[in-house]
Structure 1
Amino acid sequence: MAMNQIPPPEPMNCEKDDLENNWQFFRESFEDYRKVTQLDKKDESVQVATLKSVMGKQCKHILKQLRLSEADMANHTAILDKLQEHFSPCRNVLYDRYLFHDSKQEERETIEQYVIRVRQLAKKCKYGEVESEMIRDRLVLGAKDKAARTRLFREKECDLKKAIETLRIISETTTQQIRKISGDQEVHTLKQKSKYKDQRTGARKWESKSEAIRLQCKYCGWKHPRGHNSCPAYGKTCSLCSKRDHFASQCMQKKKKVHALQDKDSDSSDYEDLNFVVIHTLGQEPCKLFATMMLGKKREAVKFQLVS
């Protein structure tokens, strides 16, 4: 690839809150661009002009407000250092380390995301040579997977690379197991609901059959299962109408006679309190039908037998 085809670094982003990290990204990108394009071998004035042209409009305005001397403005390193002081002010290292040690893996945060966040926090703490060990300790202590943390505690030697690999493998395995268990529980719950539904459906069918058993027969007047074979009146002859398959107590002609007599009685002032008594024994047809009437002005009770 030709040198003039290498794209320049993106302009410095001065709008976001994390200006320090934005500046570090821009400076590293510009240093890489100098080496790749061999800009570092050219005259200093060319390097300064290139820096000012790629830093962006907002960053150039900030550079003018810093009021650098002519000597500093003629040196690209001096310009970078002054901008470094502006975008990266003096920090409270103690507070930065507090944020670092207080970091823990969040509920929905993956191991990869947690590693990136801890590395970014560690850059501000100025740990120097022990930075890798501090990152390792924070990852192990802040991981939400207790099984992975216990596993690492048993290791005699554990560097940062091994800690990250162990956390990644165990955490992913645990997550898959939890998903499988959750899926199995969901299937089990659905089966239980289906089984319960089937049981309730069967119970309703049984209840429907039970209701059918409790129905009273209009032919014999008793309660029995469905079917003419279960009816004691089946095949019997009625003593009132001489028709078959019902008892006289359930005969429709008898009911018509009673209604007619009651209607006649309601129109007469001489007849009151008509009372019918049906006497029959279990398994037999009614044998007698009586009526009691109050007659005359003295309201004397007269009992007589009705015949069809």
Structure 2
Amino acid sequence: MADPVQPAATENNDPQKVLQAIENYCNPRKNEVLETHRFWNTVYHEPFDKFLTELKTRAGACNFSEKDRMIRDKIVFSVSGKLQELLLRDDDLDLNKAVKLCRAYEQSNQQAKEFRDQSTASANKVNAVGHQKGPNRKKSQHHSTQKYKKTVSQSKESGETLKFNCKLCGFKHKKQREKCPAWGKKCDHCHGNNHFKSQCKKINAVSELKDSDESDYDDNWLMAVNKNNSNRIKATLIVNDNDVSFQVDSGADINTICQRYVRKDQVTPTKVRLNMWNNTNLKPLGECRLPVYNPRNREVSNITFV
């Protein structure tokens, strides 16, 4: 008996051909030019890790020879503002450094926003409690205004002149330097300008601390005197996302910063009192401890400011 005739093998009956057809259907041919166009037109969005994952996925389809470098450049091109400045300042920036810096920047912004929200909520609560309604509030304001006007009027009618104890000459006079007899004179002890020997800080610094009625203050000296001096040493550091130019004052006991670079929620009360170069005193608004970024060595330090 003869063997039955076998049907000829076709592509439909070949397992390898079938699997290849399925793979081609599920993974169509990719156009590198189109994928590269999509990669460079990816818009930056938060969270940063989601944006980074999307870049890595698209870069895998572009067949880049230096994939990490392309992703690093795309990150720098996509971000903006202070974060972009921080990335461009690093001459040895690679993908790992860029990712760490972006994550840290995003986290610090989230924390700062949380602080601001809490501060705003607390302020609104205080205002709600302290808001006085009704006729009593208007009556109190009217009484205070009338009392102030009466005091000013009496002072003018009597010819009374406001005077204060001058720490440069030791006498009482108006708060005008031209009225001070020590202004323009030299001290016989330290040969410094604009004060008498009796008021010399080098003689009386210790005794003033002992005899002062404000002995609760912690006195500190600021020695910088001329803001127009072209030879002064300055350093630009980053505080609260602001470029702050600090003057290096080797004679100062403390670090000072202008209030416009500090948020209200960062300030705490202080007992520090600043003694200026001309022996006058200044009570600051408060003190704070802030992270300070040095763009030259890329280091962050926690500094206490007044």
Q: Same fold (TM over 0.5)?
A: no
TM-score (norm 2): 0.38
Structure with the higher fraction of residues in helix conformation: 1
Q: Which has the larger radius of gyration?
A: 1
TM-score, normalised relative to structure 1: 0.38
Structure with larger RCO (C-alpha < 8 A, sep 6+):
2
Query: When you count strand as a share of all residues, which structure comes out higher?
Result: 2
